[in-house]
């Protein structure tokens, strides 16, 4: 469908529609495309260094003897580099594909806060 609200907005490097951006209003939940667009917006327009880390690998339950890391070493290094060069690092995290939260990491004080829309402040 190529009519509003399903019109694709150019310039983000991936498909995001007017309907995707509409969900930012008020208290609705944010979807993956919107969070990706937010990261692209920050790196493009906010003079900010943003690293978009792909979703964690989903691994089926196996023997507990060998656990795979959630993030690969390259992604962990990107987080370390961000913490080394900035006081605060914002990390949008999707929980089980159903809910977005944001980890606010203070690199100087070594504290992490969890922010999400269901409560004012957790963590």
Report the alpha-carbon angle 78-84-85, nearest 5: 95
Report pLDDT for 121. Answer: 42
Tell me, what's the pLDDT at 51? Answer: 60
Q: 69 versus 28: which is more confidently predicted?
A: 69
Cα 36 to Cα 10, 21, 53, distances in angstroms:
14, 11, 10
Specify the pLDDT at position 75. 79
Asked if residue 34 has pLDDT above 80, the reply is no
pLDDT value at residue 60? 61
The stretch 5-9 carries a mean pLDDT of 76
Using the structure block, give the residue that is written with the tokens 């269901």: 118
Over range 49-69, report the average pLDDT.
62
- Tell me, what's the pLDDT at 72? 77
Q: Is the confidence at residue 20, as pLDDT, over 70?
A: no
């Amino acid at each position: 469908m190529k009519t509003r609200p399903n019109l694709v907005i150019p310039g983000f490097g991936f498909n995001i529609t007017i309907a995707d951006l509409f969900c930012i209003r008020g208290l609705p939940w944010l979807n993956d495309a919107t969070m990706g667009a937010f990261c692209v917006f920050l790196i493009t327009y906010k003079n900010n260094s943003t690293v978009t880390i792909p979703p964690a690998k989903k691994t089926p339950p196996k023997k507990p003897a060998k656990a795979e890391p959630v993030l690969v070493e390259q992604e962990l290094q990107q987080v370390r580099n961000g913490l080394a060069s900035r006081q605060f690092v914002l990390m949008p995290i999707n929980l089980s594909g159903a809910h977005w939260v944001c980890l606010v990491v203070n690199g100087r004080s070594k504290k992490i806060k969890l922010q999400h829309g269901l409560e004012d402040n957790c963590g």
